[in-house]
Amino acid sequence: MTPPRTGEPAAVLWDLDGTLVDSGDYHWRSWRDTLTAEGVALTYQQFLDSFGQRNDRILAGWLGATGSPSAIRRIGDAKEALYREFARNEGLVALPGAVRWVRTLHQAGWLQAIASSAPRANVEVMLEAVGIATYFDAIVAAEDVSIGKPDPQVFLTAAARLGVPPSRCIVVEDAAAGIEAARAGGMPSIGVSATTTLPADVFVRSLDDIQDDAFERLVR
């Protein structure tokens, strides 16, 4: 692992759900059960199409005319509370390569941040569950931005908190909306997905497949 060049700070901005932590099933079940209680039938494909977006954007599309701001907030809060219940009771697993890369980058002197569409309470539960919280220099969650991905605000906010220019920040994402946000923010990206192909600067099926010099090459 090559450290960033002396005098030129560089950072890695990590998405969390689906990128570092295997949490998709908990999100599906919590959305499905919460919306069923509201009399709304949700298909698995609708869920997949929404992954990586903020709850207000997701629910506005699913609820349509019945999606008042208060209803969106109430349903979103209920879903996230159920998600955290699943996570605490059933546990979470870091995806292959996640812990190794976060630790390796930290040891090599890279700054790192979580840049997530999830509420901060979710982020804290996930990081604690997989034991990687100490490796991050900043956390940007849903409460910290007004517009979600594919808008670049979450990544630009993370870069600003780290004090690193966007061009020296590498985004690691598992969703198309996140890759689009990285590009809009002027940041190189690594896409990781076992199920779809993402238009990132570097694309891999697993974090374990990232080459040792990939991060340095992207900010060179």
Q: Which of 114, 91, 101 is nearest to 17 (CA)?
A: 114
Query: What is the full DSSP assignment across 75-131?
Result: HHHHHHHHHHHHHHHH--EEPTTHHHHHHHHHHTT-EEEEE-SS-HHHHHHHHHHHT
Q: Which residues are catalytic?
A: 15, 17
3-state SS assignment for residue 202:
strand
Taking each helix axis from N to C terminus, what angle separates 69-90 and 55-63, rounded to the nearest 10 degrees?
120
Instruction: Convert the pLDDT of each residue in 149-179 to its tens digit.
Output: 999 999 999 999 999 999 999 999 999 999 9
What is the overall mean pLDDT for the chain? 94
Distance, in Å, from the CA atom of 134 to the CA atom of 199, rounded to the nearest integer, reads 31
Specify the higher pLDDT residue, 130 or 1.
Answer: 130
Q: For each of the domains in the chain, give its residue range(s) and CATH number, in order of start.
A: 11-22+93-218 (3.40.50.1000), 24-90 (1.10.150)
Tokens of 107: 């040891």
Average pLDDT over residues 110-137: 95
* pLDDT of 113 higher than 60: yes
Instruction: Convert the pLDDT of each residue in 187-210 to its tens digit.
Output: 999 999 999 999 999 999 999 999
pLDDT category of residue 50 using cuts at 50, 70 and 90: confident
What type of residue sits at position 150?
A: P
HSE-CB at 26 with a 13 A cutoff on CA atoms is 22
Tokens of 4: 């960033």
